[in-house]
Amino acid sequence: MRTHLPIDNAVRRAQPGAESHFHIKFQIRHTERREHFIAALALLQHNRGELDGSFKASGMVNLPPREQRKRFCTRLTSAMSTLFADLDFRPSTECFRLFLTPHEWIVLLFSTTAFGNADHVTRYLNPRGPENAQFLPGDSFIEKLCVLYSTESELELDFAALWAYDKTIAACLALVLLAPVFKGSQSAHGKREALLEWLPGKLQQIDDLDALPTALLHNAYMFCSYADTPLRHAIKQDINVLVRRKLTQLGLTDLPAPKPAPTKGRARRGKKPLMW
């Protein structure tokens, strides 16, 4: 779906050489909109989803709080849908990484509306059709797909094919899908189980920890414990390898470990170790 208006085409035909001018203006609108979205998502994350005086929109002032939240979520997700469905919009690498950190809030926003998820956009991003699971060189929709995809999606995503296309993008998506503490449906829980069984051993293949959404690594590390699969803790080893590799790269070494203080009587067993 393109957002060029018919009048734009008429003006371009009437003014030779004006096409580049309209293209530049169009790109500026893209830049402004994605910056507004990222700012709104960051503010939502900071406020833990509470709408305060920082959020202002026309037609909402006199509504009761519940209706304000409903109206805000619907308008923001509709605007995101329009932007991401635009064939001319492709987030840069930096923009893509910025969208990954508040990914959970994108999912929550869509889940609170009648949309339920962003499938009405993601299903039609692939120009080869929704049934095509391939990722081919030159595809320009994959970053947008990863930003909008969630474990609540009914769209099947072939992670093996995505890994073969770009292992860093695949690892980023896997981590943001594992980061939320709560999986509210059987389908979402099942997707987390499948990811935790597929991912072990793969994260170690990522060259640099900084290529991943590091702000969410601790979530994936901790919340994998809520899964059922016996392999639920396996990705911790991969994350430890990535962190250790980064520390070595930065020239940081372990601090000398203090000698444990002698304990009186028999040591208690069966207790979980504490992390300081």
Backbone angles phi, psi at 101, to 5 degrees: -60, -45
Q: CA of 62: how far to CAs of 47, 57, 78, 186, 257, in Å?
A: 22, 11, 21, 38, 60
Tokens coding 153: 């999606």
At 202-254, the pLDDT tens digits run: 999 999 999 999 999 999 999 999 999 999 999 999 999 999 999 999 999 88
Q: Residue 107 in contact with residue 42, Cβ under 8 Å?
A: no
The set of residues, in sequence order, having a beta carbon less than 8 Å from that of 81 and lying 6+ positions away, is 115, 118, 120, 121
Indicate yes or no: pTM above 0.85. Answer: no
Output the CA torsion sign for 2, 78, 100, 56. positive
At 7-20, the pLDDT tens digits run: 233 223 333 343 33
Of 210, 204, 191, which is closest to residue 234 (Cα–Cα)?
A: 204
